[in-house]
Each structure stands twice: as C-alpha cells, then as structure tokens.
Amino acid sequence: MKSNRQIFKLSIFGVLAFLFLAVLFSAFNYHISNLNRFFLSMTGEISVKEIKTTETAAELSKDKKRIEELKKIKIPATPKKTTGKAAAKPAVEQVKHRGRTEPARKGFYVEDAEKITDQTSLHLFRKEQVVYNQEDWTGKGDTSATCIVVKGKSGITVNVNVVDDELIAESGTPWMNDCVEFYFDIRPEERRAKDIYEKGVFQVITVPYFSKTIADKPNFYAGGSTPIEIKGTKVKSVKTQKGYKLQIFFPYEGLKAAHFMPDKDFNFDFSVIDVDSSGKKKQMIWSGTADNCRGPAWFGNLSPAPEDAPK
C-alpha cells in the first residue's frame, strides 16, 4: 500500500497539472473563440456584428470580403490533351511547279518505227528546258537529246539519243549520275487532272552502260510513295560519237498488271541529267518542271502521229 506521503505528493501533482491546464485554456480561449466565430460568420450562423471585439470584427470582415472576391474569380479550364488524328497538325500542302505558267507540251508517238520523222520526235535542246542550274548549260554540245516513243503491238518502247560531252556515272544513287528519267501518266483521262502520284503515274530512272554498278537497270519511283515495279521492263544502252543512246521497253502485260492499259493518248515526259567532273549537275526536261518527281501536272501529252506527218 502506498504511504500517506506518496498520496499527498500525487494530489499536489494533480492540482498543479489542473491549474496549468486552466491557465493554458484561459490564454488561448480568446483566440479559439474568435476563430469559431469566424467560421460561424462564414456559414451565416452569426453576423459580423455579433463579434464583440471591434478590431477583430473588422479583420474578419475584410477576410470575408476577400474570400467572396476569390470565389468570383473564374479559373480557366485546363485544355484537354488530344491524341491521334485530332492532335495532328493540319498538313501543309507543298507548292509544286513554282513559277510555271505556260501549258504542258503536246507531242506524238508512232505505232510503226518506220514512220519516225522529225515531227514525231521530242526534242530537248532549248535553254528554257534546263530546269536545274540553267546558268551552267553551255549549249547543245553540253547536253541535249532527242526522244522517240513507239506504241507497238506488245508494249511501249522509248528511244533516247543523248548528246553529252562528259560521261560520268560513279554514284550508286541513280539521279546523281548522267542518266535519263521517264515519266508516265496512263491514268484514265478523268483522273489526269490530279497532281499526285497514284496508280497509273510512275517515274523510271535509268543509268547508261558506263556505270559500273547500276547500268541499264530500271529504277521505279512514285513521288515518295512505294513504287510498283513493272515486270518485263528492259533497258539497254550503247555508246555514240557524241554521247550515248538508251532504249527502254514497257510490256503492256506489265503495265496493265501494275497500273492501267494506256489509252489512245496518255501523258509522258522525259528528262536528261548531266553530271560534270566539276561536280556540277544540270537537268533538262522536255515538258515539265523540276517537280515532275512530286506531281504529274506538267507532263506532256502524246497522241498518235497523223498519217500525213512529213518525213
């Protein structure tokens, strides 16, 4: 059992603890009371006038006004993030054939090689036909060409006679060599107004015999899209006194399988690229522009040669 002395000590400790808590409560009671009144005033249960302390009432009134002002402020909604197609920026249409105003050229093809005449040949020898680095072209002896298109019984044959004073083909990239480019648009007539590469529109680049790696091979392109190879296409080239001759053949069977069977008339163009030892590169095009590789709008149009074409 605890002694009377211990009980007395515990009693004294309890009294002191009670007095300490009483003093502590008395010291903070004023502030706690005002805080409670503040929240009651916010809920409308008491008015600011019911708060006895004038100074405290004024402060609470200011706080209440500030809170009301903050409530009126409209916070802009956070924009929703979009994904997929909705988030994609609108495509910017590329400007093609910039500065071109004159219409596309018109020419002829022959159905019989014996009917080839100057009128049925496509000529490439004018300065305005130099669409890339025109200032470096020095004349017909530098770069020029004549092209003949034969629409025969089994396919289309294109013969090009190129004049080139310096034959260079050292790159593995076709268009970085002396080469010939062919452009066809054999779509149905109602679709030819569309300046896009699609089924029926294709480009072929061929590098002549003097290339050690890619000579006499048809390289198909489709304006950046996946190209469709025309099966049965054949290329051959030979040296001439002033340059080279190149021939390419497209069988109807391959054209029909990959694209369409050509109509009586169709759109066509050809280009010659000349690379000099100095590193300078020139391009000449019969009808179109340097953007032929991006759109067929200025390919020329070929129709059957007239029966009375002068020889």
Residue 244 tokens read as 């080279």
| pLDDT tens, position by position, 28-41 | 555 545 555 555 55
For residue 151, the tally of other CB atoms under 10 A from its CB is 19
* CATH code for position 152: 2.60.40.1190
Q: Which residue has the tokens 């040296």?
A: 239
Examine residue 86 and state whether it is found in any structural domain, yes or no: no
- Return all residues near 280 (Cβ < 8 A) that are at least 6 apart: 133, 136
Q: 278 and 152 in one domain? A: yes
* Range with the poorest average pLDDT among 50-64, 101-115, 249-263, 289-303: 50-64
Q: Looking at residue 113, what is its pLDDT?
A: 76
Average pLDDT over residues 232-247: 98
Q: 290 and 166 in one domain? A: yes
Per-residue confidence at 80, pLDDT binned at 50, 70, 90?
Answer: low
Q: Looking at residue 223, what is its pLDDT?
A: 92
Query: What's the number of domains the chain is made of?
Result: 2
What percentage of residues in the chain have a pLDDT greater than 90? 59
* Range with the poorest average pLDDT among 67-71, 135-139, 297-301, 303-307: 67-71
Q: What range defines the domain where residue 38 resides?
A: 4-72
297 vs 278: which has the higher pLDDT: 297
Quick check: 277 and 80 in contact, CB under 8 A?
A: no
| pLDDT tens, position by position, 127-155 | 999 999 999 999 999 999 999 999 999 99
Q: Give helix then strand counts, H and E, for the chain.
A: 3, 13
16 vs 189: which has the higher pLDDT: 189
pLDDT score of 90 more than 80: no
Examine residue 49 and state whether it is found in any structural domain, yes or no: yes
- Return all residues near 134 (Cβ < 8 A) that are at least 6 apart: 127, 282
Examine residue 90 and state whether it is found in any structural domain, yes or no: no
Rounded CA gap, 149 and 155, in Å?
Answer: 11
Examine residue 89 and state whether it is found in any structural domain, yes or no: no
Examine residue 310 and state whether it is found in any structural domain, yes or no: no
Per the prediction, the chain carries an average pLDDT of: 82
Average pLDDT over residues 169-195: 95
